[in-house]
Amino acid sequence: MLRLFAVPLPSSSVTAPTLVYLHGLLGSSADWAALQACLTEFEHIAIDLPGHGVHQAVRCQDALACGEFVAQQVQSVINPGTPLILLGYSLGARIVMQSLVSGLFAQLNLQGVILEGGHFGLACVSEREERLRADTRWANRFRHEPIEQVLSDWYQQPVFSSLNHEQRQTLITKRSANLGAAVADMLLSTSLGKQANLLADIQALSLPVHYVCGAKDTKFSTLALQSGLPCTPISQAGHNVHQEQPMAFAKTVRAFIQSVYQR
């Protein structure tokens, strides 16, 4: 978890919001370093989710329990009333969405949310059942097989199709520091197969929400554009925009914050 000092927004007496980052499955708070380096005018809080990073030993029974954990982590390091912008990537985005619609972040002074590559939820029961079966198979592999072997197959999934061989190998090496059993537990407890479709609830929020996706990430670009939410596709990026194109992502973050404070 990284925390910097808050500063005023340029040419304004308004205090800049603190940016709170939630990574995806297999990631860690360190994944946001490149983006943070492009946004040095803001304070940052990057959290290791349960089962990841320094919290590998932490277990959560479901996505809402993860949201409660996140809220506790944030409240432990901020002053009450600190304005916040939440940024969630993939699994982190889904935890943000489920927590928002359940009111778990009501005690936080949220000014806006940026979702990156987060799924709103599958439309029908059969799709959710199939996803849960697939996640259970992956979880069993993470629990019982060498993690490098599982990751080699994991990064062959269509959502990672924009990665080249070198990028895949880099990710396999980087993500091999995870504990297979911890990944398995998190994958099952937060499976997309257990998530309702949240799009209508997200659309109904009075809180500003902006979606960021990689232009080369066909699946999530389509989801984002069909959602009706304000959306920024980032060129030359796949599923993981904040690592592939941090400067372009940072530009989007600044524009979003400016729009929030001009409301």
pLDDT of residue 262: 85
Write the DSSP string, 157-209.
SGGGTT--HHHHHHHHHHHTTS-HHHHHHHHHHT-GGGPPP-HHHHHT-SS-E
pLDDT at 8: 44
The tokens of 248 are what? 């372009």
Region 97-124 average pLDDT: 97
Average pLDDT over residues 218-231: 96
Say what angle helices 147-154 and 165-175 make with each other, to 10 degrees: 140
Give residue 263's pLDDT band: very low, low, confident or very high (50, 70, 90): confident
- pLDDT tops 50 at residue 5: no
Grouping H, G, I as helix, E, B as strand and the rest as coil, residue 47 is: strand
User: Is the confidence at residue 1, as pLDDT, over 90?
Assistant: no
Domains of the chain, residue spans: 18-123+195-262
Instruction: Give the pLDDT confidence score for residue 14 in this predicted structure.
Output: 65
Residues near 180 by beta carbon (within 8 Å), at least 6 away in sequence: 142, 143, 144, 145, 147, 150
pTM of the model: 0.94
Number of residues assigned to the chain: 263
CATH superfamily label, 18-123+195-262: Alpha/Beta hydrolase fold, catalytic domain (3.40.50.1820)
Tens digits of residue pLDDT in 57-78: 999 999 999 999 999 999 999 9
